[in-house]
Amino acid sequence: MKRTSALMLAVCLAMVGLARTPRPIADMNIPAPGGKAIDLKQYRGKVVLLALITTTCAECIQSVDIFNRLQKEYGPQGFQMVAAAVNVSAKTDAGPFAQRYKADFPIGYLDKPGMMRIADVPGDQKPYVPIVMFIDRAGVVRFQYFGNDAVMKDEEKSLRAIVGGLLKQVQLQH
């Protein structure tokens, strides 16, 4: 199987991440505004980028524009963007945040224990947001990065390379 340069870049970028990958995504729903829940299992068969953000983080706010572009461009190819606000007031902030920044993807919220569980972060660590997790079509977290990782310096280029690589990898297997 021939590896594309995008996939090779994704693999190289993954080596600098500190999260334990690959691993199955935690089996949990993400509460969403209006009493609904985002069940990540509903996206099995798609490549998912799950971002944990705060509604007050300038970098996270800028990331929403990137996430919207990724959803628009890669959605028809089997990609789904999902985000969860993880700040203390996330439950009340997630809905207005999604409306204000015109999110074209679902945004829910998690409390600190939920965030730590889904991101597989030990309780004594203080992760830097945004936290991005790339989930393959089988529900496995292949790559994960924190906002202060080197990969996030050129966020859009890095995210595009990884999403594109995962989408192409799946196409090669079929």
Q: What is the 3-state secondary structure (H, E, C) of 42-100?
A: HHCCCEEEEEEECCCCHHHHHHHHHHHHHHHHHHHHCEEEEEEECCCCHHHHHHHHHHH
Structural domains in the chain? 18-149 (3.40.30.10)
Q: Do the Cβ atoms of 28 and 84 come closer than 8 Å?
A: no
Residues 97/55, Cβ–Cβ less than 8 Å: yes
Identify the pLDDT of residue 123: 83
Q: Return the percentage of the chain with pLDDT > 90, whole number.
A: 80
Percent of the chain with pLDDT over 70: 86
Residues in the chain: 174
| Confidence at residue 125, expressed as pLDDT on a 0 to 100 scale | 87
CA 9 – CA 108 distance, rounded (Å):
30
Q: Using one digit for the tens of pLDDT, what is the confidence trace for 18-52?
A: 568 999 999 999 999 989 999 999 999 999 999 99
Decide if pLDDT at 10 tops 90. Answer: no
Give the pLDDT band (50/70/90) at residue 3.
very low
pLDDT at 11 over 90: no
Instruction: Indicate if the pLDDT at residue 171 is higher than 90.
Output: no
Residue 136's pLDDT is what?
96
Nearest to 39 by CA among 87, 95, 84, 98: 84
Instruction: Say what the pLDDT of residue 6 is.
Output: 45
Residue-wise pLDDT tens digits, 54-101: 999 999 999 999 999 999 999 999 999 999 999 999 999 999 999 999
